[in-house]
C-alpha cells in the first residue's frame, strides 16, 4: 500500500523526530511505501525557532531532510487537501505522539486546539477524499483536561473518532478520554506503545559515531532542563558522590534553551543530532532527568533511569496516581513506578539515595519485549483494517 503518515515529526524534539523515523522504517520494511506529510503549523515553526539555538534548530531540520520521506512543506488544511489529491494514498495513518492533545484556550498553539489537521477534519469534510481509509496509531492526548472541554468540542471529537477504521492509543489517560466522551458511541481502542520501541530493528547503532565528543567510558546523564537546573547544590553533590564511584556526570541538554551550565563534568555542544542523542543515552550507565522519550530509550536499551516527572498534575503526582503524565503511565505499566517522582519529591531525596537507586536498578526485559511485540501486532492489525 501507499501510506500517508501524519505525525508530530518536526518539533525540535529528539523523541518526536525518532518516533517518526522508527515508524516510517518499520512500515517500509513490511513492503509498503510511505510519504510523511510534512505539515508544520506556522505558529509552531515560529515557536521552536524562537526557543531553540540556531545550530540545534538546524540539526533537527537536517535530520528530517536526510532521514524521512517528506512531502513538500504543508502549512494549512488546503495544502494537505491539494497534496493528498495529487498523490492519492491508499490510506492515511495519524500518529504516534501527542497528536490528540486538546487544550480549549485561544492562547494555545494550533497543535493544541481541536480542529487541527491531526483530527483529520480536512479529510472528513472533503467528499472526494473522505473515502480514503484512516487510522490513529499510538496516539496520545498528553494529559488533556478532557472533562473540562465544552460539550460541543467533545461531540466533534467523537464524530472524528467514529470516522477512523482503527484506533490505538499510547496511554491510559487517552483511553479514558475516549471512553469519557463517547461512552454511548462504543468506540473501541487498543493500547500500543511508542514506535521508539522499534528502534533496535530500524536503526543500526554501530553506524552512529560519537567520536567528535571524546566521551568518557563510564558516565551518567543528568537533564534538569530550564526549570530544574537551579538545584545547583543538589546537582554538585550528586556529581561529587558519582565521582567516588568512578562515574562522570554529563549534562544532556534539552533542545530548547540548551545547556543550563550546571556544575557537571561536561555539556554537549549545540548541534546534537537525534541519532547521536539516542546513542549517548545507550552508551551511558544511567539517566536522571526530565522528559518522556529518554525514559522510553532507557527501557529499550536497558539503561537504568530515574525520572523527574513534570508532566500531569502535581496533586496527582503527590498521591502517586499521576496518570495524566505520559511518563508516569509508562513507568507504571513497565513496573518502574519507584523510579519516577514529581520534581518536589525528587529533590527531597538526597543525591546519595538517587545514585544508589540508579546503581541498584535491575532492568526487566519482560515489559519491553511484550510492548514491542504488541506494537508490531497492532501495526499489522491496523494495516489489515485499512486494506479492507
Residue pLDDT tens, the chain, 388 long: 999 999 999 999 999 999 999 999 999 999 999 999 999 999 999 999 999 999 999 999 999 999 999 999 999 999 999 999 999 999 999 988 899 998 876 657 788 888 899 999 999 999 999 999 999 999 999 888 888 888 999 999 999 999 999 999 999 999 999 999 887 667 889 999 999 999 999 999 889 999 999 899 999 999 998 778 788 999 999 999 999 999 999 999 999 878 788 899 999 999 999 999 999 999 999 999 999 999 999 999 999 999 999 887 765 655 567 888 999 999 999 999 999 999 989 999 999 999 999 999 987 889 999 999 999 999 999 999 999 8
Alpha carbon separation from 84 to 39, 92, 97 (Å, rounded): 12, 10, 22
Do 2-202+370-387 and 205-367 come out as alike in CATH topology? yes
Out of 1.10.1760.20, 3.40.50.2000, 3.20.20.80, 3.30.70.360, the CATH code matching 2-202+370-387 is: 3.40.50.2000
Scored b (16 or more CB within 10 A) or e, 321-351 reads ebbbbbbbbbbbbbebeebbbbbeebbeeeb
Query: ω into residue 386 within 30 of 0, thus cis?
Result: no
CA distance 82 to 209: 40
Report the CATH architecture of 205-367: 3-Layer(aba) Sandwich (3.40)
Stated pTM of the model: 0.94
Domain range list for the chain: 2-202+370-387, 205-367
Q: What are phi and psi of 323, to 5 degrees?
A: -65, -20
Amino acid at each position: 500500500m501507499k501510506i500517508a503518515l501524519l505525525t508530530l515529526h518536526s518539533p525540535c524534539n529528539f523523541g518526536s523526530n525518532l518516533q517518526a523515523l522508527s515508524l516510517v522504517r518499520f512500515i517500509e520494511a513490511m513492503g509498503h511505501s510511505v510519504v510523511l506529510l510534512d505539515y508544520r503549523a506556522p505558529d509552531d515553526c515560529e515557536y521552536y525557532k524562537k526557543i531553540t539555538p540556531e545550530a540545534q534548530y538546524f540539526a533537527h531540520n537536517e535530520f528530517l531532510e536526510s532521514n524521512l520521506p517528506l512531502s513538500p512543506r504543508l502549512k494549512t488544511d488546503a495544502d494537505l487537501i491539494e497534496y493528498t489529491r495529487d498523490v492519492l494514498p491508499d490510506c492515511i495513518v495519524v500518529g504516534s505522539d501527542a497528536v490528540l492533545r486538546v487544550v480549549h484556550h485561544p492562547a494555545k498553539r494550533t497543535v493544541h486546539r481541536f480542529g487541527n489537521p491531526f483530527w483529520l477534519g480536512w479529510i472528513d469534510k472533503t467528499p472526494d477524499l473522505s473515502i480514503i481509509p484512516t487510522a490513529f496509531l499510538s496516539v496520545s492526548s498528553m494529559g488533556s483536561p478532557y472533562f473540562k472541554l465544552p460539550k460541543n468540542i467533545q461531540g466533534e471529537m467523537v464524530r472524528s473518532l467514529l470516522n477512523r477504521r482503527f484506533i490505538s492509543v499510547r496511554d491510559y489517560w487517552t483511553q479514558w478520554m475516549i471512553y469519557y466522551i463517547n461512552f454511548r458511541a462504543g468506540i473501541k481502542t487498543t493500547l500500543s506503545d511508542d514506535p521508539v520501541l522499534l528502534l533496535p530493528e530500524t536503526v543500526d547503532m554501530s553506524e552512529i559515531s560519537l567520536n567528535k565528543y571524546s566521551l568518557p567510558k563510564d558516565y551518567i546523564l543528568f537533564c534538569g532542563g530550564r526549570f530544574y537546573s537551579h538545584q545547583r547544590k543538589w546537582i554538585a553533590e550528586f556529581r561529587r558522590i558519582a565521582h567516588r564511584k568512578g562515574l562522570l556526570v554529563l549534562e544532556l541538554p534539552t533542545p530548547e534553551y540548551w545547556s543550563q551550565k550546571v556544575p557537571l563534568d561536561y555539556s554537549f555542544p549545540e548541534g546534537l543530532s537525534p541519532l547521536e542523542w539516542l546513542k549517548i543515552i545507550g552508551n551511558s550507565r544511567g539517566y536522571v532527568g526530565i522528559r518522556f522519550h529518554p525514559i522510553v530509550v532507557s527501557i529499550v536499551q536497558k539503561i537504568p533511569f530515574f525520572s523527574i516527572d513534570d508532566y500531569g498534575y502535581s496533586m496527582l503526582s503527590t498521591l502517586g496516581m499521576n496518570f495524566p503524565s505520559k511518563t508516569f503511565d509508562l513507568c507504571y505499566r513497565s513496573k518502574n513506578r519507584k523510579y519516577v517522582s514529581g520534581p518536589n519529591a525528587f529533590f527531597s531525596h538526597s543525591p546519595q539515595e538517587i545514585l544508589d537507586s540508579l546503581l541498584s536498578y535491575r532492568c526487566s526485559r519482560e515489559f519491553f519485549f511484550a510492548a514491542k511485540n504488541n506494537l508490531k501486532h497492532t501495526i499489522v492489525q491496523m494495516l489489515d483494517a485499512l486494506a479492507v
